[in-house]
Amino acid sequence: MSDGKPDAGVNADCDVLIAGAGLVGLALAPALAASGLAVTLCDREPVAAPREPAEGDDWDTRVYAISPGSAALLRGLGAWQALPADRLTAIESMRVFGDDGGILDFDAYDVGERALAWIVEERALRAALVPLVRAAGIATHAPRAIAAIGWNADRGEVRFDDGGGVTARLVVGADGIRSRVREAAGIAATPEPYGQVGVVANFGCERPHRGRAHQWFRDDGGILAWLPLPGRRISMVWSAPDALAHELLALDRNALAARVADAGQGALGTLDCITPAAGFPLQLLKLPAVVAHRLALVGDAAHGVHPLAGQGANLGFGDVEALAAVLRARGPVADPGTPVLLERYARQRAGPVAAMQTVTDALARLFRIRAPVVRSVRNLGLAAIGRMPPARRLLAHSALR
Q: Clarify whether residues 197 and 105 are in a common domain.
A: yes
Instruction: Give the chain's count of helices (H) and strands (E).
Output: 10, 19
Q: Which CATH number is 378's domain given? A: 3.30.9.10
Name which of 367, 4, 309, 329 is nearest 167 in CA terms. 4
Q: Give the pairing of strands 39-42 and 139-141.
A: parallel
Structural domain that includes position 87: 63-121+193-283+370-400
Q: Is the pTM of this model over 0.75?
A: yes
Do you know the residue count of the chain?
Answer: 401
294 with 356, same domain: the answer is yes
What CATH number should be reported for the domain holding residue 32?
A: 3.50.50.60
Contact at 8 Å (CB) between 398 and 65?
Answer: no
Rounded Cα gap, residues 228 and 208, in angstroms: 9
Q: Are 149 and 156 in contact (CB under 8 A)?
A: yes
For the chain, the C-alpha Rg in angstroms (whole number) is: 22
Nearest C-alpha neighbor of 45 from the set 72, 25, 75: 25
Mean pLDDT across the chain: 89
DSSP state of 192: E
Structure confidence at residue 374 (pLDDT): 66
- Does 298 lie in the same domain as 169? yes
* Same domain membership, residue 42 and residue 94: no
Residue 118 burial (CB count, 10 A): 20
Judgement on whether residues 38 and 141 belong to the same structural domain of the protein: yes
**pLDDT for the residue 280:** 95
Q: Identify whether the C-beta of residue 99 lies closer than 8 Å to the C-beta of residue 219.
A: yes
Same domain, 134 and 277: no
Same domain, 227 and 325: no
pLDDT at 52: 72
What is the DSSP code string of 151-220? Answer: E-SS-EEEEETTS-EEEEEEEEE-S-TT-HHHHHTT-----EEEEEEEEEEEEEESS--TTEEEEEE-TT
pLDDT value of position 396: 56
Q: Whole-angstrom distance between the N-terminal and C-terminal Cα of the chain? A: 45
Q: Is 209 inside a domain boundary?
A: yes
Are both 85 and 135 inside the same structural domain? Answer: no
Number of domain units in the chain: 2
Helix then strand then coil, in percent of the chain rounded to 5, is 35, 25, 35
Query: What is the predicted pLDDT for the residue at 193?
Result: 94
Tell me which residue of 70, 79, 82 sits closest to 34, measured CA to CA: 79
Residues of the chain with pLDDT under 70: 1-12, 53-57, 369-370, 373-401
Identify whether 1 is part of a domain: no
